[in-house]
Chains A and B, each alone.
Chain A
Amino acid sequence: MGYLTPIIVLDIVAGSLAVVLVIANKLFAEYEDVQLDVNDGEEEFVVEGGQTLLQAFTENEIYIPSACGGQGSCGFCTAKIKEGGGPVLPTEEPMLTREELINGVRLSCQVKVREDMKVEIEDKYLEVEKYSSEVISTKDVTPSIKEIVFDLIEPETIDFSAGQYVQVQVPANGDTVDRAYSIASEESVRDKVMLTVQLIEGGLGSTYLHELEEGDEVEFTGPFGDFVIQDTDATIIGVAGGVGLAPLRSIVFSLLEKGVEREIWLFYGTRTLEDLYYHEDLQELAEKHDNFNYVPALDSSQPEWDGEVGLITEVMKDYLEEGEDMEGYLCGPPPMMDATIDLLKDYGVDEEDILYDDFS
């Protein structure tokens, strides 16, 4: 009995607290179903109260970008709230600009659905769909980058603009987390999606994707992103670093396939010759099309390399002309992008005409 007393007493304390929690949960934490109206009646749902707006969206198959998975740290899952939702929370403030705050823009992963709500999201997200797919090929294109092709099962086709990305659902601890990857295939390929993935030590998404084999099933949502070619006549200056070639490959191939006559430059920097991928394809393309110029560059010289050597920004200086009508499309490691943005500004390119893809 002497040994049992502490156990019994502690059980009484813990047990009664558990009872209190269960009752409280039943009494206070269960909310009634509420109406959710998206984009002025374009979509209407009845959802269970008490969950976050992002959860309510996902439950009803509306996929808005949320790179951090609802932790309030990426600031992507914004939605304009017109009715309901309560005041802005301290956890949202750091992520929103003053203009967004004034316009009622909120982080949907923080807003809880407790009453009927009217919300507005960009129309394109209503077009975003969830795809199931099957891996039909995997190939090492460099020692650390794999090219993986997915055959779409349901829906069977995808409509996207070159430069956009998809969010692959990576299994983790019985749940899934989203990881963003740019589509590398061209727009005309509608029944398949090709991704190029660099293996990152300890990276959840890249490890999962690198271990995939033919026949494996993978789910992803998309397409997302504003990194798309603007409809102008300006010269396109594409700058890629390492695995950042993926969206630019899609852009270059799609444009040339469509017979666009704008002048296109692709500057592509990697560390060594082994790290250059799609090198032959791009060279071939440059020979075939007069308006496409391909300039690969390595960080340091190698005996079998007779191309450009050095930082990509230094190489670009030899090719660009100041004051020309140009648009920049950049994707690569942040320091490279920062340096390139500075360079393009020096050459007279407006900040609004420099687009970059940044989810590092």
Chain B
Amino acid sequence: MRYISVLIAAIFAHNIALRYFLGWCPLVSQSKKLSSAWGMGVAVTLVMTITSAVNWPVYNYLLVPYGLEYLQYIAFIIVIASTVQVLEMVIERFFPSLYTTMGVFLPLITVNCAILGVSLFMILRDYTLLTGIVFALGSGIGWSVAIVSLASIREKLRFADVPKPLQGPGITMLIAGIMAFAFLGFSGMVGIK
């Protein structure tokens, strides 16, 4: 039951993109087309889940015993960077068709703050390993929901008469802001703890 509530909370009520405003750089730049939004969403979800699963033992078994919690930022960042690289190699080698749809986006998320944010939240909230993984998976799905809905709206927007100064990132930020308001409606549903 606890896992399900954490999962739902991470997807909706505590959506990493629309509630915490993390990972907005790719959210704005890769939401022009629905197909690339899907690719990006899958890539983020995958990387988020795997890096949390690696970061949890690194923190709890390596940093905590020696009282080195303050090294978490640098440790997490190098873990994320190398995980992304290995993942890219594996996908390129064994799943060529997947590589063409989402693999090309992997390097873009090496330094994505949503990925680091999820690992840090996991530590901050004292999750167990399994809860942490579920939370990361949910956050990834939540981020995908955000980018895919944003891309769908933007594809429709091609036919709208957007004032010149707002075209491109401007109107995208506005839409995402309105979406964030909408997601506030989920906040009473489930808590994250």
Residues in A lying within 8 Å of B, measured CB to CB = 5-6, 9-10, 12-14, 17-18, 20-21, 24-25, 28-29, 86-91, 114
User: Which of chain B's residues have a CB closer than 8 A to the CB of A10?
Assistant: 71, 74-75
Other than the given A9-B68, A10-B71, A14-B78, 10 more pairs (CB < 8 A) read: A5-B68, A9-B66, A12-B62, A13-B78, A13-B79, A17-B82, A25-B89, A87-B100, A90-B101, A90-B104
User: Does B68 lie within 8 Å of A6, measured CB to CB?
Assistant: yes
User: Does B104 lie within 8 Å of A21, measured CB to CB?
Assistant: no
Q: Interface on chain B toward A: helix, strand, loop, or mixed SS? A: helix
B62, B78, B82: which contacts A9 (Cβ < 8 A)? B62
**Taking the nearest CB of chain B, how far is it from the CB of A223, in angstroms?**
34
Q: A9-B71, A25-B89 are in contact. Are A17 and B96 (CB under 8 A)?
A: no
Q: How large is the interface on B (under 10, 10 to 19, 20 to 34, 35 or more residues)?
A: 20 to 34
Q: A12-B62, A13-B62, A90-B104 are in contact. Are A24 and B90 (CB under 8 A)?
A: yes
User: Does B100 lie within 8 Å of A21, measured CB to CB?
Assistant: no
**Taking the nearest CB of chain A, how far is it from the CB of B57, in angstroms?**
11
**Taking the nearest CB of chain B, how far is it from the CB of A301, in angstroms?**
39
- Tell me whether B125 is interfacial, beta carbon within 8 Å: no
**Taking the nearest CB of chain B, how far is it from the CB of A140, in angstroms?**
44
Specify the chain B residue showing the minimal Cβ separation from A87.
Answer: B100
**Taking the nearest CB of chain A, how far is it from the CB of B68, in angstroms?**
5
User: Does A20 lie within 8 Å of B100, measured CB to CB?
Assistant: no
Q: A9-B71, A114-B96 are in contact. Are A28 and B78 (CB under 8 A)?
A: no
**Taking the nearest CB of chain A, how far is it from the CB of B125, in angstroms?**
22
User: Does A24 lie within 8 Å of B89, measured CB to CB?
Assistant: yes
30 contacts between A and B (CB under 8 A): A5-B66, A5-B68, A6-B71, A9-B62, A9-B66, A9-B68, A10-B75, A13-B58, A14-B78, A20-B82, A24-B85, A24-B86, A24-B89, A25-B89, A28-B90, A28-B92, A28-B93, A28-B94, A29-B89, A29-B92, A29-B93, A86-B100, A87-B97, A87-B100, A88-B100, A89-B100, A89-B104, A90-B39, A90-B101, A91-B104
